[in-house]
């Protein structure tokens, strides 16, 4: 199915709510990305906001969950489909159980716990807190991406630094949170009553209905 053109954060939210999942960048499913749905003139125009600036407002809406969920790259997931997606990716584990079974590293645990305990934490604050700075620990990007791929952490906003005149500048700094902090623990884990494989099948059937001409293997690569 051809996806509609998006020209605003609300357009993106409505499209994500309609199809459930929307990667930010082009991928193996033609047309299935914000990159391909948004007109070129809205990218880095300098005059109007475009997809890079929309990410924060969309995440703040709580109608979508945003993070590096798709092959280590950014994707929006609708609120309705996130519990099944989390159930599949977590394989039924909450983070503590995953760590206790030896399936998560100490680095993963300290990053996850820092985010969970602080509720909202900018990436620069998280790196400073855990000494992921020049001359300190290595591998922050690998850890934070893995935690997002497993759905234990997501991006709740992008915060812009202000100059001496109070004007925002530069790229927005990612703010991390747990999905439970954003949407509520009972909601996020509401699909745990299903086997993870069942959640995967539900998502696969849904995507096949949205993209009937795309092979099941290519669609399953998304989840």
pLDDT tens, position by position, 11-63: 999 999 999 999 999 998 888 999 999 998 888 767 778 899 999 999 999 99
pLDDT digits (tens, 9 = 90+) for 111-158: 999 999 999 999 999 999 999 988 889 999 999 999 999 999 999 999
Q: With a cut of 80, say whether residue 166 has pLDDT above it.
A: no
Q: How far is CA 43 from CA 3, 59, 181, 182, in A?
A: 18, 19, 31, 28
Provide mean pLDDT across the span 176-199: 97
pLDDT of residue 137: 92
Question: Residue 209, class by beta-carbon neighbours within 10 Å (0-12 exposed, 13-18 middle, 19+ buried)?
Answer: exposed
Q: Are 168 and 161 in contact (CB under 8 A)?
A: yes
Phi first, then psi: give them for residue 167, nearest 5 degrees: -95, 135
∠ at Cα 199 (149, 141), nearest 5°?
A: 0
Phi first, then psi: give them for residue 45, nearest 5 degrees: -75, -30
- Alpha-carbon distance of 17 to 29, in angstroms, equals 18
Place of tokens 């407002």: 57
Phi first, then psi: give them for residue 133, nearest 5 degrees: -130, 175
With bands split at pLDDT 50, 70 and 90, how would you rate the model's confidence at 2? low
More confident residue, 19 or 4: 19
pLDDT digits (tens, 9 = 90+) for 87-119: 999 998 999 999 999 999 999 999 999 999 999
- Alpha-carbon distance of 33 to 44, in angstroms, equals 17
**pTM across the whole model:** 0.93
C-beta atoms surrounding 1 within 10 Å: 12
More confident residue, 2 or 172: 172
Tokens coding 216: 């099941």
pLDDT of residue 91: 95
Query: Which residues contact residue 37 at a Cβ distance below 8 angstroms, ignoring those fewer than 6 apart?
Result: 3, 4, 5, 6, 15, 31
pLDDT of residue 45: 67
């Amino acid at each position: 199915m051809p996806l509609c053109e998006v020209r605003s954060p609300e357009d993106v939210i409505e499209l994500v709510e309609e199809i459930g999942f929307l990667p930010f960048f082009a991928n193996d499913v033609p047309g299935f990305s914000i990159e391909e749905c948004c007109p070129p003139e809205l990218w880095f125009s300098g005059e109007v906001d475009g997809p890079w600036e929309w990410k924060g407002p969309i995440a703040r809406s709580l109608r979508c969950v945003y993070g590096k969920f798709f092959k280590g790259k950014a994707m929006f997931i609708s609120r309705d489909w996130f519990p099944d997606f989390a159930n599949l990716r977590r394989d039924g584990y909450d983070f503590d159980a995953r760590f206790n079974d030896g399936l998560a590293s100490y680095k993963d645990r300290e990053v996850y716990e820092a985010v969970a305990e602080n509720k909202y934490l900018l990436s620069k604050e998280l790196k400073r807190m855990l000494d992921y700075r020049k001359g300190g620990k290595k591998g922050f990007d690998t850890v934070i991406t893995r935690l997002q791929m497993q759905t234990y952490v997501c991006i709740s906003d992008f915060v812009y630094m202000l100059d001496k005149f109070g004007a925002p500048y530069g790229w927005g700094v990612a703010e991390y949170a747990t999905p439970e902090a954003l949407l509520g623990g009972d909601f996020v884990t509401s699909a745990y009553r299903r086997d993870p494989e069942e959640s995967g099948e539900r998502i696969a059937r849904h995507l096949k209905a949205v993209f009937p001409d795309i092979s099941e293997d290519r669609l399953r690569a998304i989840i």
